[in-house]
Amino acid sequence: MNPKMKESRKTSETEISLEMKLRGSGVYHFDTEIPFFDHMLSHISKHGNIDMNLFLRGDIGIDCHHSVEDTAILMGGMIHTALGDKKGIRRYGHFTLPMDEVLCTVALDFGGRYAFHYTGPDLVGKFGIYDAELTQEFLSKLAMNAKMNLHVLIHYGKNRHHIHEAIFKCLGRALREAISIDTQNPEAIPSTKGILE
């Protein structure tokens, strides 16, 4: 089973509705009022083969922090729920991706524990109204709520846009591998413990 899920989150700071199908065809529609965030999320969807339909309204008159953070919280939780007991998935995913002069590696594990580590140049500056530092906030909260280890490494690169694009494309590819079904062991829990939380 790979059902399409729909969940919402509403606080005094944000209102979010997300429809998602993990093993889809990479179809997406984003309405966030944060163009650069839309652009980055489109890479996760397209390269992860994850269908997403996202509506987001937040207190962007202050800044985009709550909007990006709460989207990651909702998305991560939905991924965790969708994977269920994780029977048959590959569990681990990694990808190394070139984006012009940038080289990026993302590695992740859906083992049920949270860890996040970023190695690379400081993510600073702005893309329109999007603060570059929010990328690390998004990644951390996504990993926390999906209960996964997530490691992001920028080997080298200078262009700020290319660095961000490489991260999100690479994340999509790593997710695609990790959530795919292991055809050799489609009924197995990918752990010697026999259980993954």
Per-residue pLDDT of the chain (197 residues; tens, 9 = 90+): 577 899 999 999 999 999 999 999 999 999 999 999 999 999 999 999 999 999 999 999 999 999 999 999 999 999 999 999 999 999 999 999 999 999 999 999 999 999 999 999 999 999 999 999 999 999 999 999 999 999 999 999 999 999 999 999 999 999 999 999 999 998 899 998 888 88
Task: Identify the pLDDT of residue 37.
Answer: 98
Separation CA 144–CA 186 (nearest Å): 26
What's this model's pTM, rounded to 2 decimal places?
0.96
Separation CA 4–CA 137 (nearest Å): 26
Task: Identify the pLDDT of residue 64.
Answer: 98
How many Å is the Cα radius of gyration of the chain? 16
Please report the domains of the chain, with CATH numbers, ordered by start residue: 5-179 (3.30.230.40)
Residues in the chain: 197
- The tokens for 155 are 């080997």
Nearest to 167 by CA among 131, 125, 132, 130: 132
